[in-house]
């Protein structure tokens, strides 16, 4: 025969049910955080995505356009700030509010640099491996050409279907 537990130590059905439900909720929260990532990690990921988008706009819109218009690379990113065409482009890091790094290497090659909080997402790399990066300071070396110098081949014509 089991000795009787004191009244304050007895586990009633309601207490047992509450303990089981609480344990299940804690497990679900832990699994969800593991699968989705913590709110801090998600925030860091969003900042890195914004940095990457900013660098791509600086590259494809600001610098490429500047090069086409002036037949040279800018000496610094600040040289493009006042241009009306560049009004929608962000040249500043979303967290530090400092200008992204830019170094002109030669007549048609430059580096764009920033500091990433996390390594690049493997899904993104599948689509454009050029922008792969680790966490920490990262520079991308980029070359430009005048559009007239680019080897552009038109797409073959596709015959129209008759209806």
Q: What is the pLDDT of residue 38?
A: 73
Tens of pLDDT, residue by residue over 42-61, are 899 999 999 999 999 999 98
According to DSSP, the β-strands at 136-143 and 109-116 are: antiparallel
Q: Contact 123/159 with Cβ under 8 angstroms?
A: no
pLDDT-derived band of residue 157, with 50, 70 and 90 as boundaries?
very low
Q: Contact 76/102 with Cβ under 8 angstroms?
A: yes
Tens of pLDDT, residue by residue over 94-111, are 999 999 999 999 999 999
Tens of pLDDT, residue by residue over 56-87, are 999 998 999 899 999 999 999 988 876 655 66
Tens of pLDDT, residue by residue over 133-147, are 999 999 999 999 887
Q: How far is the CA of 130 from the CAs of 10, 28, 30, 75, 126, in angstroms?
A: 64, 38, 35, 24, 10
Q: What distance, in Å, lies between the first and last C-alpha atoms of the chain? A: 91
Q: Contact 125/132 with Cβ under 8 angstroms?
A: yes
> What is the residue-averaged pLDDT of the chain?
81
pLDDT at 11 over 70: no
Tell me 92's DSSP state.
Answer: B
């Amino acid at each position: 025969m089991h000795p009787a537990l004191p009244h304050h130590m007895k586990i009633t059905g309601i207490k047992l049910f509450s303990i089981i439900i609480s344990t299940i909720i804690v497990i679900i929260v832990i699994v969800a955080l593991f699968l989705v990532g913590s709110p801090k990690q998600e925030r860091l990921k969003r900042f890195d995505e914004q940095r990457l988008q900013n660098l791509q706009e600086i590259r494809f819109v600001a610098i490429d356009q500047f090069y086409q218009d002036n037949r040279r690379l800018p000496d610094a990113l600040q040289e493009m700030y006042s241009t009306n065409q560049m009004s929608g482009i962000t040249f500043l890091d979303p967290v530090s509010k400092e200008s992204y790094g830019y170094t002109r290497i030669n007549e048609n090659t430059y580096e764009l640099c920033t500091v990433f909080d996390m390594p690049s997402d493997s899904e993104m790399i599948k689509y454009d491996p050029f922008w792969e990066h680790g966490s920490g300071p990262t520079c991308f070396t980029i070359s430009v050409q005048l559009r007239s110098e680019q080897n552009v081949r038109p797409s073959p014509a596709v015959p129209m279907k008759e209806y």
